[in-house]
Structure formats: C-alpha cells, structure tokens
Structure 1
Amino acid sequence: MQRAVAETRSRLECLGHTLIPFNPLQVAEAFSLFIGAVTVDGCRYLLNKFDADLECDGYASIMNMNRVPFILRRIIAFLTAPFYPRIAHVIRAMPRDTSELRCIYERIEIYRHKFVRAMVSSNIDALLCPVQVVPAVGHVYPMHLFATTSYCGIFNLLDFAAGTVCVSKVTEEDERMLADYPEDDLWV
C-alpha cells in the first residue's frame, strides 16, 4: 500500500498538484465513534438483518460476538484491555442505551468540525490515502480483517464523499516484503 500511495503522490506532483502530509485526528476515537454509530442498538438491527438473510461464510464469528449480552461484552473488554487495548476499545464503543448513543452523536459532530477545521487550516482540498491497509481481498476475508474498516469507516463517520481509484497491482516484491511483517496482533 505504501508503494501505491508513494507512486500516486509522485504522479500527482508531476501534474502540478501540491501534496502535504496530513494525519487524521484521533483515529482511535474516530473508529470508536464509527463503531458506536453502526451498533446503535447493541447491534440488534444488524443482527436481525443478517438472521433474515442467507448465511455468509466467514461472518459467523463477528455476528456471534454481537450476540453476547452487553454486560458480558463490557467484562470481556475489561479483561482484554491490558493485553489487547484496541480490541477492548472497540468492544466498549457499543452504546448500551439511548443516552450513551446521544453522547456518541454529539462527539461525532464535534469530531467532524475538528477534522474539517484541520483540513481548512492546512489548505487541503482532498485526501490521498489507501482504502484499506491491504489490497483487495476475497469475499470471505473482510470479516477476519475487522480493523481494516477503520480506513473507510472514518469517511462514513465524517459523511465525506469518498471514492477509490485502482492505481497499482500487487507485485512479487510486495509479496516478498510481507515475509517481514509482524503477524502477532489479534487486532488484524
């Protein structure tokens, strides 16, 4: 992904565009807000939609996690926090009631304003970033790569228009570089 972004940056600069570094604000907070907004009712609505549809391979584990009673989810988050803080953060992001949900919506509005102000103050018109942390994967893999939704989820949270353009293909060198990539994080 880094290579594709670097190549695209170079192409845009050759066309006369000015590109500057921009780090999205509080990404962990944004992802937490995204999860809270998607699971507004403890994920009951989504579960009902999935239960009424054909069963998809690979979706059972994440759907079963959302069937765990709310209090048990919070206990799991507490117990996993010292070892896997990002997983615990996501589990805690699900609102337990409408009061918590209203707070999430308020925080989303605040986050949107901060993000837009940061872009405006940096004179940024558009963002160049990968859609995911991985190239396109087969249909059964996304539910096993939950963390990758943070890349596109932030644009849903911000209510920004976003589009994708294929700029490169995975090369054999890209595949070789994966051999050095750590695989010990349950988050991915």
Structure 2
Amino acid sequence: MAKDVESLALCLRALLSENMHRLDATVPPLPFREEVYASSRRLRIGYYESDNLTQPSPSMTRAVRLTSKLLQDAGHQLIPFSVPRIEYAFIHLFTGGLYADGGATLLEKLKGDIVDPSMQGLVSQLCLPDPVKRFLAGILRFTEPLTSQLLEELRGVGTPKKLWEQHTAVEEYQQEFIAKWRSLDLDVLLAPALGPAFYIGYPAKAARSSFYLALYNLLNFPAGVVPVTTVTPQDEEELAFYRGYYGDGSDKNFQEAVSGSVGLPVTVQCIALPWEEELCLRFMKEVETLVKDQGGPK
C-alpha cells in the first residue's frame, strides 16, 4: 500500500479529517491522534510464532524472532500469546461466513467469464450439487478431516436464521479474542505474516495459510506488515524438512509455494485493537526504525 509507514500515516491523516466527513458522511469524524502515533512510550507486545493452523515457513519464524529481539532490546515488553480456537475460527467463522450462500454470489460474478486456472478447483467444488458435497465430505472425514469440514462449510449455512447465528458467532469470537488480549494487558500484537511470495498458481492451492492475515479481517482489527528480513540459504535448507501440522495437500502445496525463494523479502504483522489505527502505525514505525537501524532487511 505504501513504500514506508510514514506514507500510510500521511494517508490516514488525510482520511481522518472533518473535510473528508463532509464529503462522505460514512467516514467517521474522528481526527488522527498525532499524540498516539508520535508517542515513545514503551509497549507491552504480545507475540506468537505460529497460528497452529499452518506451520510457518522457516523464514516466517525467524522474522518474528528477529523482530522480538529488536523490540526487547529497545526496552519493550514481549509477552507470549496464542490464538484461541484457531480451527474453529478458520473453518466455521471465516470459511463458513465467506461461503454462507454456498458460493452462489461468487459463481454469479464469474458466470460467462474466464476462470483463472488457480481458482478452477474452488469453482468446481462450489458447482457440485449439495448431495455430492455432503457425500465427499463424508469420505474425506477419515483421510483429510480438515478438508472434510471445509467442504461441509462450502454447502452454505442453509437458512436466514443460521446466517444470523453465524454473524453472532463471529462477534462472540471477537469478544473472546479481545478478552484474552485484555487479560494480558497488551498494547499491540506481533505475528507472522504469510511469506515469502508464492509461485504463480499456488495461492489457491495453499489457501489455508492465508489465514495468518485473514484472521484480522475476520476480527476487524487494524493490521499492517513491515519487511524485516529476506529468505536465506539456511531458511531454504530447513524448508526441505517442512511437514506441516496436518500432512495434507494444503501443507504440501505451501512448502512448494515458498521454495526457491532465497533473497525475497519477509515481513511481520503488527496488530492493534479496533479504533487503534494510530497505535498500529506507531508499532509499525517502531519495527521499521529498529530494522533500518540494523542496516535494513537482510
């Protein structure tokens, strides 16, 4: 979105203004809190190296460890954090919400158009009759249980009442996440960002790994990524021993998607609570500055 954090802050200053609210009534009349962005207060930072859904690539893990050490050496407090009920969030809340209508809207938008080959597998699954989806989910329950549950979610929620229940479940999970955050008295959260960049054609094959980022879309938390390092030959050597947490097709595809990436940039994710965009940017700026002081991503 921008070449540096300051450019993002400049954009937000322009958006969060009285003039912008007059032009577009849906923009909240909340001014950019310069004092939060410019603060030098030491932070209590939660962190995790894995979401326990997709095993991170070696470079992702190293990026978080590197950043954690830089932050700790700068005087910030680092507190271990674990994402609550990650499978539930990914399967039922994210996937279930995304395809609540069984994919009907997506298929309607794609009708008569050329489907990118990387999306063809998903489109083919969505086009299956409901009894076939149910039958395949039953078979896969014994060999790839996670895939089986995802296929069940592609069937849609079924009724308006179930849709409301799904929306409520998302709100309840958001409150659960915030409660855990508050119990640790955190200011911000440091997490892996999906990376490095995938080979062409692999994003749809290893879509589960995208939940490292999509989790915070689901929660509606402000989040941004900052480059902190690049993939090293040692990262590439360690990747050869990658197995994943489920040992299924998605894990195998993720390993292939990030292989041969020596020299590519690797980022970390900086997250804050809702309505704390300035604090999120301040945290991103802190990470960016500390990395630059070390000579930049390398």
TM-score by length of 1: 0.91
Whether the 8 Å contact between 1:87 and 1:187 is mirrored in structure 2 is no
Counterpart position of 2:85: 26
Counterpart position of 1:136: 197
Q: CA deviation at 1:187?
A: 3.2
The structure whose Rg is larger is 2
Counterpart position of 1:8: 67
Q: CA deviation at 1:55?
A: 2.9
Amino acid corresponding to residue 163 of structure 1 in structure 2: G
SS at match of 2:77: coil
Change in Cα spacing, 1:69 to 1:171, as seen in structure 2 (3 Å) is same
Stretch deviating more after TM superposition (150-159 or 66-75): 66-75
Distance 1:53 1:115 in 2: 40
| Gap runs ≥5 in structure 1 | none
- Root mean square deviation, CA, Å: 1.7
Stretch deviating more after TM superposition (28-37 or 88-97): 88-97
User: Alpha-carbon deviations, 1:97-130, whole Å to 9, x = none?
Assistant: 3232222111111111111011011111221111
SS at match of 1:19: strand
Whether the 8 Å contact between 2:118 and 2:201 is mirrored in structure 1 is yes
User: Alpha-carbon deviations, 1:44-87, whole Å to 9, x = none?
Assistant: 11122233544323111111111112232122112111211111
Distance 1:79 1:57 in 2: 26
SS at match of 2:188: coil
TM-score by length of 2: 0.59
Counterpart position of 2:242: 181
SS at match of 1:166: strand
Counterpart position of 1:59: 119
Of 94, 97, 100 in structure 1, the residue corresponding to residue 162 of structure 2 is: 100
Higher strand proportion, which one?
Answer: 2
Of 109, 126, 148 in structure 2, the residue corresponding to residue 88 of structure 1 is: 148
Change in Cα spacing, 1:113 to 1:55, as seen in structure 2 (3 Å) is same
Whether the 8 Å contact between 2:118 and 2:205 is mirrored in structure 1 is yes
Whether the 8 Å contact between 1:86 and 1:187 is mirrored in structure 2 is no
Counterpart position of 1:150: 211
| Gap runs ≥5 in structure 2 | 1-59, 252-298
Q: CA deviation at 1:2?
A: 0.8
SS at match of 1:129: strand
Whether the 8 Å contact between 1:5 and 1:130 is mirrored in structure 2 is yes
Whether the 8 Å contact between 1:70 and 1:96 is mirrored in structure 2 is no
